[in-house]
């Protein structure tokens, strides 16, 4: 199997051929093609797996347009299934990836054996009960199927990984191995290796090295041993007192150390979570979010709906459930009223920046699961953006009232006044590369610059589109390669949104593209 270097050149440099080939032979199952699901799917397809099966049972709605960049009003009007509508648009991103859809109801499916054809299973928008059932099935397979679940509720998001009882990572860091030229090796216990010209060796305690081209102390050649760091320029290698004296030369090469992770099943992790701390300013946030979202799941199970953003009663009920879950933790925790209130107010909505962030992270974890390269998430990831709600007050019903437009999901998180402010915003952005395309997509979904008489988004980029751009910039297609022009370009991101992106300056510019329509005037 050959790797298309003209498409994957930059990714190939980061991952290496072995990881790329692993991905090209792997199949992924992704359930839930809402805003989060399509973000994950987009990233996985661009990366270049063998196949992706996208699963969903829901028809496209106007609400979905606020987070789902591959749906348009025609899909909503026709009532098309979200997965079915997304398949051809995802398939456009990478000709090497087979993308197909599935619309069966997982909750009523007794036999999960169809999942055996996949190496990684990702669930979004599913109940804890279904997540636990699928996770248990995945763990019992030989080899275990890698399991990931993820959700976004308002201004809160979470992800969970279970890669089985024994998961080997052959390259935890992805860094190049170090080669150290030797100036001297002492006879002693330990023998001390000194780097030539006092150059730092860059090794860490416990690293393993092997030796070659050592003269005098030839017994070291081909030997690999762990080291102890003495200082930045010297390290110990064990007992060399019985070896012949060192004369000259020699090279010490760092060896990659395989790392093994033991994941616990979801059921065990519910009561005693292993959480990654991502915001040092809020060290208590992961655990608070953990049982708050468990309480939210229980609220939905009892009432068959999420808390109403304007209901004080729903907020109080959610707090009582959170207290109960906090007491059941291995180390009991008192819930933060502010966290519970923000979750109750926003849970029916969806904050697009969190969707984009979590979509990238989950896709990254899926690639780690498939390749065994880079240390995986172990095992919970929580992130919140409650700061955007600090000025909002529960009970202000009009501020969160749905307007039956594409911004309802955002409105339930930040309020109508903030939505209006975004729509009237004037923004200028330099660069439409990989990050630039993502920023443009996020701005369009947030409605930045959509007010015709006031808002405007201006972008500029002098580069030409190369084939390698298609691997990481989902707004471009093969027919855009080497596209250039001079002067002024106008493009409408979605035909009914009136987002004007102006590319200015009199030199070749990179126009940007999105699935819905190409509009160059």
**Tens of pLDDT, residues 342-361:** 999 999 999 999 999 999 99
Phi, psi dihedral angles at 64 (to 5 degrees): -65, -30
Q: Taking each helix axis as running N to C, give the angle between helix 352-371 and helix 35-47, from 0 to 180 degrees, rounded to the nearest 10.
A: 40
C-beta separation of 394 from 312 below 8 A: yes
CB neighbours of 214 closer than 8 A, spacing ≥ 6? Answer: 182, 185, 220, 221, 246, 249, 250, 251
Helices (H), 284-346: 285-303, 312-328, 337-346
Helix H or strand E segment including 498: none
Report the C-alpha gap between 33 and 152 in whole angstroms.
13
Compute how many other C-beta atoms are within 10 angstroms of the C-beta atom of residue 329.
16
Instruction: Supply the pTM of this predicted model.
Output: 0.86
**179 closest CA partner among 197, 195, 158, 168:** 195
> Dihedral through CA 251, CA 256, CA 257, CA 262, nearest 10?
180
**452 closest CA partner among 473, 495, 423:** 423
Look at residue 133 in the predicted model and tell me its pLDDT: 96
Inter-CA distances, 27 with 98, 316, 367, Å: 9, 44, 11
Q: Comparing 29-33, 268-272, 314-318, 497-501, which segment has the lowest mean pLDDT?
A: 497-501
**497 closest CA partner among 446, 425, 432:** 446
Compute how many other C-beta atoms are within 10 angstroms of the C-beta atom of residue 77.
10
**183 closest CA partner among 150, 216, 135, 226:** 216
Q: Taking each helix axis as running N to C, give the angle between helix 285-303 and helix 128-139, from 0 to 180 degrees, rounded to the nearest 10.
A: 110
Give me 338's structure tokens: 């502010």
Q: Give the residue-averaged pLDDT of 61-77.
A: 95
E strands in 332-434: 380-384, 426-430
> Dihedral through CA 189, CA 195, CA 199, CA 203, nearest 10?
-50
Inter-CA distances, 44 with 51, 171, 355, 476, Å: 9, 20, 15, 16
Q: Burial level of 310, CB count in 10 A (0-12/13-18/19+)? A: middle
Q: Comparing 132-146, 217-231, 292-306, 393-407, which segment has the lowest mean pLDDT?
A: 393-407
Higher per-residue confidence, 11 vs 328: 11
Is a pLDDT exceeding 70 seen at residue 510? no
Residues in the chain: 521
Q: Which residues pair with 148 in a beta bridge?
A: 122, 161
8-state DSSP, 308: P
Give me 188's structure tokens: 């002693």
- 237-265: b or e for each residue (b if 16 or more CB lie within 10 Å)? beebeebeebeeebbbebeeeeeebebbb
Look at residue 421 in the predicted model and tell me its pLDDT: 92
The sign of the CA dihedral 367, 373, 375, 379 is positive
Phi, psi dihedral angles at 208 (to 5 degrees): -110, 140
**Tens of pLDDT, residues 79-120:** 999 999 999 999 999 999 999 999 999 888 778 999 999 999
Give the three-state DSSP class for 31.
strand
Q: Give the residue-averaged pLDDT of 51-56.
A: 98
What percentage of the chain reaches a pLDDT higher than 90?
A: 68
CB neighbours of 176 closer than 8 A, spacing ≥ 6? Answer: none
Higher per-residue confidence, 38 vs 14: 38
Look at residue 366 in the predicted model and tell me its pLDDT: 98
DSSP secondary structure letters along 460-484: E--PPP-GGGGGT-TT--GGGTT--
**Tens of pLDDT, residues 106-163:** 888 778 999 999 999 999 999 999 999 999 999 999 999 999 999 999 999 999 999 9
């Amino acid at each position: 199997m050959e790797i298309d270097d003209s498409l994957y050149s930059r990714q190939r440099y980061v991952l290496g051929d072995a990881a790329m080939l692993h991905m090209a032979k792997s199949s992924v199952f992704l359930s839930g093609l809402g805003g989060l699901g399509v973000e994950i799917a987009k990233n996985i397809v661009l990366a270049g797996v063998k196949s992706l099966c996208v699963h969903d049972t829901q028809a496209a709605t106007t609400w979905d347009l606020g987070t789902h960049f591959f749906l348009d009003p025609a899909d909503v009007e026709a009532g098309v299934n979200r997965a079915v509508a997304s398949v051809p648009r995802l398939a456009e991103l990478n000709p090497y990836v087979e993308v197909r859809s599935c619309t069966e109801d997982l909750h009523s499916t007794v036999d999960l054996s169809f999942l055996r054809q996949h190496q990684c299973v990702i669930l979004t928008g599913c109940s804890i009960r279904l997540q636990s059932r699928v996770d248990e099935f995945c763990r019992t397979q030989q080899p275990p199927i890698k399991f990931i679940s993820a959700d976004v509720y308002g201004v809160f998001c979470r992800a969970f990984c279970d890669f089985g009882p024994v998961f080997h990572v052959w390259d935890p860091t992805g860094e190049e191995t170090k080669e150290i030229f030797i100036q001297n090796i002492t006879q002693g216990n330990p023998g001390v290796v000194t780097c030539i010209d006092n150059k730092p060796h860059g090794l860490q305690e416990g690293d393993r090295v092997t030796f070659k081209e050592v003269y005098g102390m030839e017994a070291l050649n081909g030997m690999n041993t762990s080291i102890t760091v003495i200082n930045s320029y010297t390290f110990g290698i064990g007992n060399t007192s019985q070896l012949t004296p060192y004369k000259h030369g020699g090279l010490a090469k760092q060896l990659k150390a395989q790392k093994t992770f033991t994941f616990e099943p979801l059921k065990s992790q519910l009561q005693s979570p292993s959480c990654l701390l991502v915001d040092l300013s809020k060290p208590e946030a992961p655990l608070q979010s953990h049982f708050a979202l468990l309480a939210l799941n229980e609220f939905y199970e009892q009432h068959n709906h999420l808390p109403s953003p304007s209901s004080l009663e729903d907020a109080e009920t959610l707090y009582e459930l959170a207290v109960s879950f906090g007491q059941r933790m291995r180390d009991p925790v008192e819930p933060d009223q502010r966290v519970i209130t923000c979750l109750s107010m926003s849970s029916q909505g969806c904050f697009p920046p969190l969707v984009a962030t979590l979509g990238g992270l989950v896709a990254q974890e899926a690639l780690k699961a498939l390749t065994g390269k880079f240390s995986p998430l172990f095992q919970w990831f929580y992130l919140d953006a409650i700061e955007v709600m600090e000025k909002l007050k529960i009970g202000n019903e009009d501020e969160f009232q749905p307007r039956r437009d594409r911004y309802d999901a955002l409105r339930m998180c930040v309020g109508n006044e903030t939505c209006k402010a975004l729509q009237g915003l004037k923004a200028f952005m330099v660069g439409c590369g990989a990050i630039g395309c993502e920023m443009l997509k996020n701005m369009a979904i947030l409605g930045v610059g959509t007010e015709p008489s006031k808002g405007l988004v201006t972008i500029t980029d002098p580069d030409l589109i190369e084939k390698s751009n298609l691997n990481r910039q989902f707004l471009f297609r093969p027919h855009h390669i080497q596209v250039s022009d001079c002067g002024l370009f106008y493009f409408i991101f979605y035909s009914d949104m009136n987002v004007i992106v102006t590319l200015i300056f009199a030199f070749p510019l990179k126009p940007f593209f999105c699935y819905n329509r190409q509009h160059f005037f």
